[in-house]
Structure 1
Amino acid sequence: MEKKELRIICNCCGKEIHTEPMADREEYLEVTKEWGYFSRKDGEIHHFILCESCYDRLTEHFCIPVEKKMQTELL
């Protein structure tokens, strides 16, 4: 049986994000939002992926900074 590779693409810049277990592996943010009854998007499910660079560019403009905590045990 052939293993099919899943390509991860940043929705913002279009860059392919490398997820293979290699030295050039990259992290990314994946968001899925199910919009509810009181939204103008009621019933829609939105999904997007941001590479780390696009995440940094987006969050640097927040009025209230992203809450950060240090993880003490890395797996």
Structure 2
Amino acid sequence: MRQYQSRETKETKKELNKIICNRCGKEIPVGAVPSEGVFSVDYKWGYPSEKDGQRHRFDLCEECYDSLLASFKIPAETAEE
């Protein structure tokens, strides 16, 4: 979950203030960049899903992401970049 703060300029702008892990609630401060790794999802479901037309957005801290990956029966593919 992302929290924004309004910034008063000629045009009011929203600045990302902090990211909250949707799973555990951990707050991740944001300066120029998040203070730690964050896994962000922004997915729009389509036909034939029962969620057709819904958009789901969430953020996970690295610990919760690791926990999610550990629950997979088939491991995620990883590569060094």
TM-score (norm 2): 0.74
The answer to whether 1:57 aligns with 2:57 is no
Tell me the percent identity: 46
What letter matches 1:30 in structure 2?
S
- Structure 2 segments unaligned to the other structure (5+ residues): 1-7
Aligned length: 70
Could you tell me which amino acid in structure 2 is paired with residue 62 of structure 1?
A: F
Determine whether 1:33 maps to 2:73. no
TM-score (norm 1): 0.79
Change (3 A) 1:67 1:6: same
Deviation at 1:19, TM superposition (A): 2.9
C-alpha displacement at 1:67, in angstroms?
0.8
* Alpha-carbon RMSD: 2.1
Instruction: Give, in angstroms, the shift of residue 21 of structure 1.
Output: 5.1
In the superposition, relative to structure 1, how do residues 17 and 39 fare at CA in structure 2: closer, same or farther (>3 Å)?
same
User: Counting strand residues as a fraction of each chain, which structure ranks higher?
Assistant: 2
SS of equivalent to 1:7? strand
Q: Does 1:12 align with 2:15?
A: no
